């Protein structure tokens, strides 16, 4: 598994086209986020309030989950609880069966990626169509999204043109406007023919039972208003207490994700169509656990305050150089490195936490100021406890023993310095058996000085 | 009214002691020039950060404990010419020992008198003008620990700006990490190399003669990269530039 | 099904006792401070946002002017509209001679409409948004299916912020199945960050602000 990660990283860093695309996208989104935050009278206060809205739920988790469920039931929504991915998919399959669903249209939902829903639906012989433009291309290309907000940031327009030409038989074009127009036409007929629409939820409002969707294209509106059945797959941590809390998180979500004050379509759904209005006849909300309650029980519970804006990805210098696929699972970047070990319940995912320089850019960018670096550091410690090699452990035990005993430390460093100085002193080395080759492959290394600072200080103090 | 005489303890850091002693020398000379009496607790070893960052908090605590006890033997301000070591002491020690009721108050007292080098000059000594001159073009690299760990950016920049004749250039995305990250530089060397190359391309494009920073980790990494490409660009700690300008 | 529910809730309850969650630090005010802007300032702010969003807007000071303006967008076009009882300023008159369908039409017919004509339940100046509540006679499809959406807004329905709107309209919102807050035309930047307008929803939004 460790080698898989290293292998994916190696492929990614050697892909110049990928890195150029990532650099362009993340640089643009970074500056847009900063400008958008300036449009708030007090962005710091708004961020604190957004965090408090999420934190309030985490401080009374079961209470808000139950309140939210009750308000949903009041609206005639059927609520299901899914402990894991299989259970979530099973619920959705049962709903599809109950309503004789043949075709499903989906709007972008990371939760459905988590549960691998499309595969489950296709195995049950349902037709599933992703309708977010990026996700649609990903589906046609049999690929996976690589960014929370920009699923095809890793694809060039030429590649998108090829995919649409090869899979849909359309004349080749690499003009984004033309490609978008093709997708619009093709998908419009899918929306009109679909029996069921599946969406995620950006937020759920406990006070009113509302499901909030934040989008730009209009496909989520189409998915949730045209088909006769609407299913929402929603992580339990997406709940906020009240409408005013929703306002606070909305203020920072679009600003942090795309640099907009608000997304093109902010939709708030309260139940299926009422009183003869046109719209879905049935609405279901599946509340998904899938590792969230385990996360809640861990030192990293605060990560459940995440509002899925992707800002941490856009400032992460590692993400910028390796992209989303290298991380190997649904959520990439700093946020992915913390949540994936819990969602996948497998310790080896903790190695993602080492692909980080602890630069704190993610902590600074996060609209709800989740201390991701602190969590990554703790995951590293957990990872070492479970998987460290004997040599590695011994190295650090030796370091600790030496550095906590000044006499030994001075002796050891003096010996090493004297030994090294036989060969080199006060210079930079191209390579040395004493320096890891992973360092000297790319950089020279400074040799120990012939006179340490303390040597100089001691001499100087004698002179005085 | 006579100016108060400051006496300080210098926590020189392991990188300075072993690899860049000239930086420590510059720190001492600059402080003494500014009327500060410098003492060096010679039993110092390391702040423990390498172990913590590699995922060995118990080992880090063992080393940190020694450092806390040593530095608590005096009550004078402690000067640390490294953003990352200062950040370790000021930000991480309390967290590491959060369950140690005995040591926590000691740590609190200690961190209250710990200062990164530029922070001490600007915020304690109140230096606004170094009365120094140096005709040189340099580029300043704000390390992650300085910028985001300690929120120290205006301090080093103010000191540099006060040096007459010194041209301080900036690069785009200057706040982005250089790719050192301690063990990361070895553990994920392929990513570290890309980050370093990115940074060096931007730095060398400025035609500055030196890149100046307050973190030796960054300078070890960037310096190694510059050496590898036989570049003329030097790496310098802030204290070295100030010393050259003053003396 | 309910066993899963019990297990999940019990896990949350058990963990709550020992969970390392940070406390709530900053209370979210439940009554937002109403804006100090006058109605004219609010309107100016709204229009500035619409400009930035590249939404065409027209401020008409008389109903006749408003109707004339509307005609320019709907003449000889196939329309999908809100029911007349929900359209402001009696603009339903303008639709009488036009090829216009409503929410009782087959979806296939609705989706052929070139222009959607709606009112607005309210609008938000701070972000340049219009807000539409769906109901029988006020289909969400009218602001979604056609490529052009013309929204007629009563000046008095403009508020400054979303928070204010939520405070004033909470009951209405939670009793309606779909609230759509629309800010500009449908767009995407999925392909190489190139902004394209008219992804799935209307590519053209026109707002006519009446007296």
ipTM of the complex model: 0.96
What was the pLDDT predicted at B196? 98
Among A14-18, A319-323, A384-388, C11-15, where is mean pLDDT lowest? A384-388
**pLDDT value at B148 more than 70:** yes
What was the pLDDT predicted at A332? 95
- Distance (Å) from the alpha carbon of B134 to chain A's nearest alpha carbon: 25
Mean pLDDT of B173-189: 95
**pLDDT value at A1 more than 60:** no
Question: Predicted confidence band at A388 (pLDDT cuts at 50, 70, 90)?
Answer: confident
In C, minimum Cα distance to A290 occurs at C8
Could you tell me which chains touch chain B, where touching means 3 or more CB pairs under 8 A? A
Write out chain B residues lying below 8 Å of A357, CB-based. Answer: 144, 177, 179-182, 184, 192, 195
Q: Do B224 and A446 touch (CB under 8 A)?
A: yes
Mean pLDDT of A383-412: 91
- Distance (Å) from the alpha carbon of A445 to chain C's nearest alpha carbon: 40
Residue of C30, C182, C196 lying closest to A177 (CB–CB): C196
Mean pLDDT of B132-160: 97
Q: Do A448 and B57 touch (CB under 8 A)?
A: no
Q: Is the dihedral of CA A397, A399, A404, A405 positive or negative?
A: positive
Q: Which residues pair with C133 in a beta bridge?
A: C179
| Averaged pLDDT of chain A | 95
- Backbone φ/ψ region at B80: left (φ over 0), alpha (ψ -120 to 50), beta: beta
Q: What is the pLDDT of residues A240-279, one digit of tens each?
A: 999 999 999 999 999 999 999 999 999 999 999 998 899 9
Mean pLDDT of A12-16: 95
| Averaged pLDDT of chain B | 96
Question: Predicted confidence band at A3 (pLDDT cuts at 50, 70, 90)?
Answer: confident
CB B118, CB B214: distance < 8 Å: yes
- Distance (Å) from the alpha carbon of A142 to chain C's nearest alpha carbon: 17
**pLDDT value at A146 more than 70:** yes
Q: Which of residues 182-241 of A touch C (CB under 8 A)?
A: 183-184, 187-188, 191-192, 208-210, 216-219, 221-222, 224-226, 236
Question: Predicted confidence band at B3 (pLDDT cuts at 50, 70, 90)?
Answer: low
Which residues have CB under 8 Å from C128's CB, separation 6+? Answer: C46, C48, C49, C50, C52, C53, C55, C183, C184
**pLDDT value at B1 more than 80:** no
Mean pLDDT of A155-182: 95
- Distance (Å) from the alpha carbon of B225 to chain A's nearest alpha carbon: 5
Write out chain A residues lying below 8 Å of B95, CB-based. Answer: 374
- Distance (Å) from the alpha carbon of C83 to chain A's nearest alpha carbon: 12
Residue of C25, C26, C190 lying closest to A151 (CB–CB): C190
Sole residue written with tokens 């008409």: C60
Q: Do A264 and C201 touch (CB under 8 A)?
A: yes
What was the pLDDT predicted at A386? 83
Q: Which token pair is B54?
A: 């590699």
Q: What is the pLDDT of residues C111-151, one digit of tens each?
A: 999 999 999 999 999 999 999 999 999 999 999 999 999 99
Say whether B208 sits in a helix, a strand or coil: coil
- Distance (Å) from the alpha carbon of B227 to chain A's nearest alpha carbon: 6
Query: Rounded to an integer, what is the distance from CA A205 to the centroid of its chain?
Result: 22
Q: Do B18 and A430 touch (CB under 8 A)?
A: no
The CA distance from A289 to C8, in Å, is: 7
Q: For A239, list phi and psi in degrees, rounded to 5.
A: -75, 140
Write out chain A residues lying below 8 Å of B44, CB-based. Answer: 406
Nearest CA to A45 out of A280, A251, A327 is that of: A251
What was the pLDDT predicted at A84? 97
Nearest CA to B46 out of A379, A457, A377, A412 is that of: A412
Q: What is the pLDDT of residues A42-55, one digit of tens each?
A: 999 999 999 999 99
In a mutagenesis test of the A interface, which of C2, C6, C54, C174 is the best target, namely the one with the most A β-carbons within 10 Å? C174
- Distance (Å) from the alpha carbon of A402 to chain C's nearest alpha carbon: 34
In a mutagenesis test of the C interface, which of A17, A20, A243 is the best target, namely the one with the most C β-carbons within 10 Å? A243
Q: Do C199 and A276 touch (CB under 8 A)?
A: no
Residue of A360, A382, A413 lying closest to B144 (CB–CB): A360
**pLDDT value at A373 more than 60:** yes
In a mutagenesis test of the B interface, which of A320, A400, A455 is the best target, namely the one with the most B β-carbons within 10 Å? A400
**pLDDT value at B50 more than 70:** yes
Tell whether A424 is within 8 A of chain B (Cβ). Answer: no
Tell whether A442 is within 8 A of chain B (Cβ). Answer: yes
Write out chain A residues lying below 8 Å of C20, CB-based. Answer: 298-299, 301-302
What was the pLDDT predicted at B151? 97
Could you tell me which chains touch chain C, where touching means 3 or more CB pairs under 8 A? A
Among A102-111, B3-12, C197-206, where is mean pLDDT lowest? B3-12
Write out chain C residues lying below 8 Å of A160, CB-based. Answer: 191
What was the pLDDT predicted at A2? 64
In a mutagenesis test of the B interface, which of A404, A416, A425 is the best target, namely the one with the most B β-carbons within 10 Å? A404
What was the pLDDT predicted at C33? 78
Low-confidence ranges of chain C (pLDDT < 70): 1
Q: Which token pair is A191?
A: 């929306």
Mean pLDDT of A318-338: 95
Beta strands (DSSP E) in chain B are 7-10, 37-39, 78-80, 114-116, 132-140, 163-169, 210-213, 234-237
Q: Do B195 and A321 touch (CB under 8 A)?
A: yes
Mean pLDDT of A126-134: 96
What Cα–Cα distance (Å) separates residue B35 from each residue in B5, B77, B170, C149?
A: 7, 14, 31, 73
Tell whether A98 is within 8 A of chain C (Cβ). Answer: no
- Distance (Å) from the alpha carbon of A255 to chain C's nearest alpha carbon: 12
Residue of B17, B24, B59 lying closest to A397 (CB–CB): B59
CA angle A392, A393, A395 (to 5 degrees): 65
**pLDDT value at B2 more than 80:** no
Q: Which token pair is B80?
A: 């640390």
Size of the A and B interface in Cβ pairs below 8 Å: 191
């Amino acid at each position: 598994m460790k080698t898989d990660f290293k292998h994916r990283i190696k492929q990614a860093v050697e892909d110049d086209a990928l890195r150029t695309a990532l650099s362009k996208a993340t640089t643009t989104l970074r500056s847009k986020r900063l400008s958008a935050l300036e449009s708030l009278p007090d962005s710091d206060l708004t961020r604190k309030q957004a965090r408090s809205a999420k934190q309030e739920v985490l401080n009374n988790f079961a209470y808000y989950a139950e309140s939210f469920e009750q308000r949903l039931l009041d609206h005639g929504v059927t609520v299901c609880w899914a402990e894991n991915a299989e259970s979530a998919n099973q619920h959705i399959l049962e709903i599809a069966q109950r309503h004789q669903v043949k075709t499903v249209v989906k709007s972008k939902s990371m939760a459905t990626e988590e549960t691998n829903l499309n595969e489950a639906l296709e195995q049950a012989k349902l037709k599933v169509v992703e309708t977010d433009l990026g996700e649609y291309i990903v589906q046609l290309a049999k690929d996976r999204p690589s960014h929370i907000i920009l699923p095809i940031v890793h694809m060039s327009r030429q590649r998108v043109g090829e995919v649409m030409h090869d899979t849909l038989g359309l004349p080749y074009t690499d003009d984004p406007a033309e490609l978008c127009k093709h997708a619009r036409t093709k998908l419009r007929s899918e929306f009109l023919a679909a029996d069921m629409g599946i969406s995620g939820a950006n937020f759920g409002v406990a006070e009113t039972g509302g499901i909030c969707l934040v989008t730009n294209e209009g496909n989520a509106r189409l998915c949730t208003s045209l088909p006769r059945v609407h299913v929402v797959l929603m992580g339990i941590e997406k709940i906020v207490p009240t409408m005013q809390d929703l306002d606070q998180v909305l203020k920072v979500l679009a600003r942090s994700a795309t640099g907009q004050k608000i997304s093109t379509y902010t939709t708030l759904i309260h139940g299926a169509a009422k009183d003869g209005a046109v719209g879905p006849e049935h609405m279901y909300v599946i509340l998904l656990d899938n590792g969230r309650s385990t996360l809640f029980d861990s030192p990293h519970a605060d990560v459940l305050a995440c509002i899925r804006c992707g800002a941490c990805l856009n400032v992460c210098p590692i993400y910028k150089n390796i992209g989303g696929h290298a991380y190997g699972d649904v959520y990439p970047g700093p946020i992915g490195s913390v949540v994936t070990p819990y969602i996948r319940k497998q310790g080896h995912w903790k190695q993602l936490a080492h692909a980080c320089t602890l630069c704190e850019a993610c902590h600074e960018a996060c609209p709800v100021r989740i201390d991701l670096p602190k969590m990554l550091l703790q995951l590293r410690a957990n990872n070492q406890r479970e998987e460290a090699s004997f040599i590695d452990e011994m190295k650090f035990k030796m370091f600790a023993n030496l550095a906590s005993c000044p006499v030994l430390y001075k002796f050891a460093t003096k010996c090493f310095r004297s030994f090294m100085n036989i060969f080199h002193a006060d210079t930079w080395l191209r390579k040395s058996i004493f320096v890891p080759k992973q360092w000297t492959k790319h950089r020279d290394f400074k040799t120990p000085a012939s006179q340490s600072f303390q040597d100089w200080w001691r001499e100087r103090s004698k002179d005085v | 009214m006579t100016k108060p005489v400051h006496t300080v303890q210098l926590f020189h850091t392991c990188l300075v002691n072993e690899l860049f002693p000239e930086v420590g020398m510059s720190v001492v000379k600059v402080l003494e020039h500014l009327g500060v009496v410098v003492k060096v607790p010679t039993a110092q070893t390391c702040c423990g950060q390498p172990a913590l960052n590699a995922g060995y908090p118990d080992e880090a605590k063992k080393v940190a404990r020694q450092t806390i006890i040593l530095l608590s033997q005096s009550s004078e301000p402690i000067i640390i010419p490294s953003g990352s070591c200062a950040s370790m002491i000021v930000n991480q020690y309390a967290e590491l020992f959060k369950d140690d009721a005995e040591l926590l108050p000691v740590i609190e007292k200690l961190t209250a008198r710990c200062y990164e080098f530029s922070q001490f000059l600007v915020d304690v000594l109140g230096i606004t003008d170094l009365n120094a001159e140096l005709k040189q073009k340099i580029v300043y690299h704000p390390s992650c620990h300085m910028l985001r760990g300690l929120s120290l950016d205006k301090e080093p920049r103010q000191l540099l700006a006060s040096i007459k004749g010194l041209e301080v250039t900036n690069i785009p995305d200057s706040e982005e990490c250089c790719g050192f990250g301690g063990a990361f530089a070895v553990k994920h060397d392929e990513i570290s190399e890309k980050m370093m190359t990115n940074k060096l391309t931007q730095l060398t494009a400025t035609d500055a003669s030196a890149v100046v920073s307050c973190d030796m980790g960054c300078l070890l990494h960037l310096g190694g990269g510059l050496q590898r490409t036989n570049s003329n660009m030097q790496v310098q700690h802030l204290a070295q530039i100030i010393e050259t300008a003053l003396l | 099904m309910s066993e899963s529910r019990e297990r999940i809730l019990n896990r949350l309850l058990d963990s709550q006792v020992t969970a390392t969650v940070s406390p709530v630090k900053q209370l979210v005010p439940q009554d937002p401070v109403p804006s100090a802007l006058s109605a004219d300032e609010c309107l100016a702010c709204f229009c500035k946002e619409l400009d930035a969003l590249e939404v065409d807007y027209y401020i008409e000071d008389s109903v006749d002017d408003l109707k004339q303006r509307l005609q320019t967008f709907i003449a000889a076009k196939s329309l999908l509209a809100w029911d007349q009882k929900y359209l402001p300023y009696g603009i339903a008159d303008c639709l009488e001679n036009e090829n216009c369908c409503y929410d009782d039409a087959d979806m296939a017919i609705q989706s052929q409409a070139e222009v959607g004509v709606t009112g607005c339940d309210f609008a938000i100046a701070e972000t340049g948004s219009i807000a539409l509540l769906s109901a029988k006679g006020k289909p969400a499809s009218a602001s979604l299916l056609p490529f052009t959406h013309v929204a007629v807004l009563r000046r008095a329905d403009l508020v400054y912020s979303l928070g204010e709107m939520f405070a004033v309209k909470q009951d209405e919102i939670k009793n309606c199945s779909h609230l759509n807050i629309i800010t500009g035309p449908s767009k995407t930047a999925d392909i190489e960050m190139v902004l394209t307008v008219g992804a799935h929803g209307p590519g053209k939004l026109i707002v006519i602000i009446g007296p």
